[in-house]
Amino acid sequence: MPSHLQAQRAENDLLQARLINLSEAERAAIASDLHDEMGPLLFAVRAAVQQAEAAATQVTGPGLAQLNEALDAIARHAAEVQRGTRDAINDLRPMLAGDASLSELLEELVASLSEIAPEGRITLSADKGVSTSHLGELSIYRFVRESVLNALRHGQADHIRVSLKLLRGSGAIVTRVADNGIGPGLNASPSMGQIGIRDRARALGGTYLPPWRDEGWTLTELRMPLE
């Protein structure tokens, strides 16, 4: 019976890995379509706004202030749509596959997360040259993103430390996120994001350690094989 269950779990993990691969391929295709379709349209909108702003300098009369206010609103909303589209593309398909190393990818992620929480401090310590499979790097990226956002939104943390280390002799990459927030409750159930991280890690031969408390810090960890 134990051997049968073990074989069944191995088969389920293999199927899960295939589903993850298909899902990532679909996400990449959506990101590409979003970039190709929305990019030119947003560029055209912003160019049109600039032309309208230039033309408005020749307008006089009581409606000028209202016109300028409307143009400012259009430009502001267009910038927000562009920012939201860029974030959606990055979430669907982070800059990977030869575009950047894993440490550079995490540096970019930490920088973008720092922009949404300027009152806090997010630091990164990453071994250079550490790499794994495409799906493994995507898993690490999504783990860091989910964990940092949880610390900011739910943990009320103002200091978050992200580390990426090659565990010598084990053939594993250890990614850890530590924060000084209030941490999860004693009876807190795992979030959907945490369940997804756990299932993805197991399917790819990794290990996910859900948040735990240690001397006032909340820590969570993901261990992924090198290949």
Strand-pairing partners, residue 126, are 164
Strand-pairing partners, residue 217, are 214
Of 58 and 6, the structure prediction assigns the larger pLDDT to: 58
Structure tokens at 61: 């009369």
Amino acid at site 25? A
Neighbouring residues of 121: CB distance < 8 A, sequence distance ≥ 6? 158, 159, 160
Q: Where are the domains of the chain?
A: 2-92, 102-225
Number of C-beta neighbours around residue 195 at 10 A: 13
pLDDT of 4 strictly over 80: no
pLDDT of 86 strictly over 80: no
Mean pLDDT of the chain: 80
CATH code: domain 2-92 is 1.10.287
Per-residue pLDDT, 80: 84
Of 210 and 15, the structure prediction assigns the larger pLDDT to: 210
Neighbouring residues of 17: CB distance < 8 A, sequence distance ≥ 6? 135, 203, 204
CB 92 within 8 A of CB 73: no
Percent of the chain with pLDDT over 70: 77
pLDDT of 187 strictly over 90: no
pLDDT of 211 strictly over 80: yes
Nearest in space to 130 (alpha carbons), one of 18, 27, 223: 223
**pLDDT tens sequence across 164-181:** 998 877 778 999 999 998
CATH code: domain 102-225 is 3.30.565.10
**How far apart are alpha carbons 179 and 8 in whole angstroms?**
37
Structure tokens at 156: 């009320």
Report residue 215: phi and psi, to 5°: 50, 50
Per-residue pLDDT, 10: 62
**pTM > 0.85:** no
CB 117 within 8 A of CB 156: no
Determine which of 101-105, 121-125, 187-191 has the lowest per-residue pLDDT on average: 187-191
**pLDDT tens sequence across 32-51:** 667 667 777 777 888 888 88
Complete edge-to-edge strand list for the sheet that includes strand 121-126: 121-126, 159-167, 172-179, 217-225, 207-214
Percent of the chain with pLDDT over 90: 17
Residue 226 confidence class, pLDDT cut points 50, 70, 90:
confident
